[in-house]
Amino acid sequence: MTRSRGKIVRRHPHWIEWTTGLLSTALVATMTGMILYHGLTARDASPELSVTVTAQRPTAQGFEMSFIVANSGKKTAAGVPVTGRLLDGDRREVERREVTIDYVPAQSQVEGALRFSEDPGAYRLDINASGYSDP
Amino acid sequence: MTAFEYDVCAALGPRSFLLNKCEVKGASMGDEHNAQAVPFQTTEFVTGLGRGIAGALLFALPMQMTMEMWDLGFAMDRFRLALLLVITLPLLVGIAHRIGFEKTFSWREDIRDAMIAYAIGIIASAMILKLFKLLTPETAEQDFLGKIALQAVPAAIGALLGRSQLGADPDDAEDEPDSGYGAELFMMAVGALFLSLNMAPTEEMILISYKMTPWHALATIALSIIVMHAFVYAVSFKGGHELKDTPGWHALIRFTLPGYVIALLVSLYCLWSFGRLDGSGSMPALMSTIVLGFPGAIGAAAARLIL
């Protein structure tokens, strides 16, 4: 039983094969172009982190404060500690909570929450991303 | 033989996934079928079942032993999990149609085989997860369901592939029907999905994409396409495709590039399903898609050769 061991690619296929093929080529080319452009514009990029409080609600054991960490930079930040402090007046720290976000990808945002036992509404809140490392 | 086995045999019919030569004429039990008694081949039934379970284990164990997959059981968005389970159905039927049978065009039998494979996948996953003490009576109901359902997808695909790859049917390889263009693309999607499902849950996929610069991503695209093309046309594996007088770039545009796009789409779908792209900007999402698209591309190329 001597048979050709594989399938043979036909020389003149149905037009749909060429259409699919050319569409795919265009798609891959566009993607490559986008990355190329990104590569040329994002040299020496660094993460630009900002923390925004989105909601605050009482829970069974205190108060929960939801936030969004946004990275507007073109580089991903890893291990981002988000520190929230409740300040009485100017200096005195009433409560301090921290949570670490594994990754904040470039031009992306990640949601998180801090849980306080005191009511954050009664104090001045200071919340920020206190650092990052390279992934 | 029990009445149940008879029913199964009758339901499966000839040339089915579980019983290659199940000639159902009757049962040997003392019931109404006794009149036309031809002994039911229980061994074939068990062999078919065994192949399915072996396939499920072979293909799904890496995922069953991955921590992220356990977490996804409860962490995964329920809508996305349901969608994955629904998408799996036509996929299994397609695989059953492509490799479970030869030229017979019977979707009824394909659906039957697909459902049996799904059941094997569910049972095998439940047993393995139970064995690893991941399912305990204390496990929450949603977690319990989610874990089994998620693992059942690769296990079911594995169960069907087990029939084709572990089976000793001698005329299996020879009688392979000449596949059409659509079937070729479908098999690439299956291959890509298989490897993507394996790797998408792990944190490494996104971590690699974060570590990479755009230049690394470009190199990954190039390598993915080269490897895909070489796998099928150059290295001349068993099942490789011959070009004859067709120029190589014809095959590149008609098969390899569409295959790569399919691998990327499958990769994007897997990442989205597992919530890896939530909140992510378009560039990081594209980069992780390319990273996962690399194994996906190899899976797609391999599927063209193996299946």
Rounded CA-CA distance B242/A1 in Å is: 18
Using an 8 Å CB-CB cutoff, list chain B residues near A39. 213-215, 218
List, for residues B228-263, the tens digit of each pLDDT value.
999 888 776 666 677 777 777 888 889 999 999 999
Rounded CA-CA distance B222/B201 in Å is: 24
- Indicate whether B39 pLDDT > 70: no
List, for residues B100-151, the tens digit of each pLDDT value.
544 445 778 888 888 999 999 999 999 999 999 999 888 888 899 999 999 9
pLDDT tens string, chain A, 135 residues long: the values are 333 445 677 777 788 889 999 999 999 999 999 999 998 987 778 899 999 999 989 998 889 999 999 999 888 999 999 999 998 877 788 889 999 999 999 989 999 999 999 888 888 888 999 999 988
* Chain A: residue whose CA lies nearest to B288: A105
- Indicate whether B18 pLDDT > 60: no
What pLDDT is attached to residue B166? 60
- Looking at the partner chain, which of A20, A35, A135 has a beta carbon nearest the beta carbon of B258? A20
- Looking at the partner chain, which of B245, B261, B284 has a beta carbon nearest the beta carbon of A76? B284
Determine, for residues B206 and A103 on separate chains, whether the beta-carbon distance falls below 8 Å.
Answer: yes
pLDDT band for position B2 (50/70/90)? very low
H or E segment to which residue B111 belongs: helix B107-131
- Looking at the partner chain, which of B210, B213, B238 has a beta carbon nearest the beta carbon of A105? B210
Residue listed under structure tokens 């930079």? A73
List beta partners, residue A80.
Answer: A101
Complex ipTM above 0.90? Answer: no
Looking at per-residue pLDDT, the higher value among B33 and B95 belongs to B95
Interfacial residues of A (vs B; Cβ cutoff 8 Å): 1, 3-11, 13-14, 16-18, 20-25, 27-28, 31-32, 34-36, 38-39, 42, 74, 76, 78, 102-103, 105-111, 135
What pLDDT is attached to residue B150? 93
List, for residues B201-233, the tens digit of each pLDDT value.
999 999 999 999 999 999 999 999 999 999 888
What pLDDT is attached to residue B13? 44
Using an 8 Å CB-CB cutoff, list chain B residues near A17. 181, 254
- For chain B, the domains span 3-36, 48-177, 179-307
Q: Give the contacts of B58 (CB within 8 A, at least 6 positions apart).
A: B158, B162, B166
Residue B11 identity (one-letter amino acid): A
The torsion defined by the Cα of B164, B165, B169 and B173, in degrees rounded to 10, comes to: 90
- Indicate whether B265 pLDDT > 90: yes
Q: Which fold has domain A49-129?
A: Immunoglobulin-like (2.60.40)
Averaging pLDDT over each range in B3-12, B64-73, B173-182, which range is the top one?
B64-73
Looking at per-residue pLDDT, the higher value among B260 and B12 belongs to B260
